[in-house]
Amino acid sequence: MENHPAESSHAGDERVALRPVTPEDETFLFEVYKSTRRAERALVSHWDDAYWDSFMQMQFNAQRHDYRTRCPESEHSIVLFEGRPAGRIWVDRNERGVHLLDITVLPEFQNRGIGTTLLRRLSEECDREGKPLTDYVDKGNERAMRLYERLGFRVKEEIPTHFKMERPPRA
């Protein structure tokens, strides 16, 4: 873990740490994924819980397969807050820059500065290496857009459902 770039920085809250994902994290990661889809659950309230969970498992597996296929060298970590699992972060580092594939903090841990801390750590890493930091943000996620803009990200590209955000490195 000593080489974990997002953890080695001094940016932000020391209560926030990362550790690599292990096979024992499977159930937790599935719950983290499902937490991002709560609004959609209301749209299909006629589905029973077993059917919903089956659908979510299929979506979860598809997302993981996509990330692993497109970014085989990416780093998938559990986000810890005060030693407790609070979310996940998935980062792809390459010669062009650092791309945040996913960052999810469970609802009960939100509004504690965890996301800000992680983004600042990644930003510091990118500044040291002279590389941009990018992420795709859902167009409907105004809170995330405000956070990204506050941290120096700008819209680089627009696709139908998302904005590609980029934070250029600072000298």
pLDDT per residue as tens digits for the range 41-71: 889 989 999 999 999 999 999 999 999 999 9
Q: What is the pTM of this model?
A: 0.87
Stretch 97-126: mean pLDDT? 96
Q: What pLDDT does residue 11 have?
A: 59
Reference 76, options 164, 4, 134, 12; nearest CA is: 4
Q: What pLDDT does residue 2 have?
A: 35
Average confidence score pLDDT of the chain: 91
Stretch 68-87: mean pLDDT? 97
Q: What pLDDT does residue 12 have?
A: 61
How far is Cα 125 from Cα 9, in angstroms, rounded to an integer? 8
